[in-house]
Amino acid sequence: MGGFRLDKIGEWETAENEMGMSARMPELMIGLVAVATSPASTLLAMPGRQAGHVQLVSLPPCQPPAATSSSSHPQYRSPIILAHNHPLSTLACTANGSHVLTTSERGTLLRVWDTSRGRLERELRRGVDRADMWGVKFEDEVMEGDKARKGGMVVGWSDKGTIHVWEGEKAGESSKP
């Protein structure tokens, strides 16, 4: 067989999380995880051992088949983020792993976390009524001419029949959609 090899890197315990196991489509059995996808990013985010917590794991960087150099991967100041008081319902991360976006089963708040410091960067209100959050996403980097700028928008969608979009804040602006 040619060239495709997988090695187990690790195994991590998480809290029981019905929302993360695709309660809407149990046949899919999709777990609640987020993985940074840009080259040299190593973040794996998943539910922690307690409801509402997020666990940050530094994975070894993927090397191209010909590469032999070893590079260090980031360490997180706090490998556990106490994100919500209720179980997580959605989890997303930026492509470079610098931030994680979370919602809980209440569905009223989206929280943006800085993974390097383990601190809350922004809290975005979706509404006051409970909602089943179906997904959240960060805008990817945007090319402006020759330069890439950090994506500034966050989107969240739920069973309420609405999609909420937030743009990066400037001084004095509200974080409401």
Residue pLDDT, tens place only, 80-91: 999 999 999 999
Contact between 130 and 108 under an 8 Å Cβ cutoff? The reply is yes
pTM over 0.75: no
Q: Could you give the domains of the chain?
A: 28-61+70-167 (2.130.10.10)
pLDDT at 153 over 70: yes
d(CA 146, CA 149): 10
Residue 57 forms beta bridges with which residues? 44
Q: What is the pLDDT of residues 124-145, one digit of tens each?
A: 999 899 999 988 998 876 556 6
Q: What is the pLDDT of residues 94-114, one digit of tens each?
A: 888 889 999 999 999 999 999
pLDDT at 173 over 80: no
Q: What is the pLDDT of residue 74?
A: 63
Comparing 1 with 58, which gets the higher pLDDT? 58
Pairing of strands 153-158, 163-167: antiparallel
Q: How many CB atoms lie within 10 A of CB 26?
A: 10
Q: What is the pLDDT of residue 129?
A: 93
Q: What is the pLDDT of residue 104?
A: 93
Average pLDDT for residues 56-81, to the nearest whole number? 68
The set of residues, in sequence order, having a beta carbon less than 8 Å from that of 61 and lying 6+ positions away, is 40, 42, 71, 73
Contact between 59 and 72 under an 8 Å Cβ cutoff? The reply is no
Q: What is the pLDDT of residues 13-65, one digit of tens each?
A: 887 766 554 444 444 445 688 888 887 788 888 888 888 899 998 888 766 55
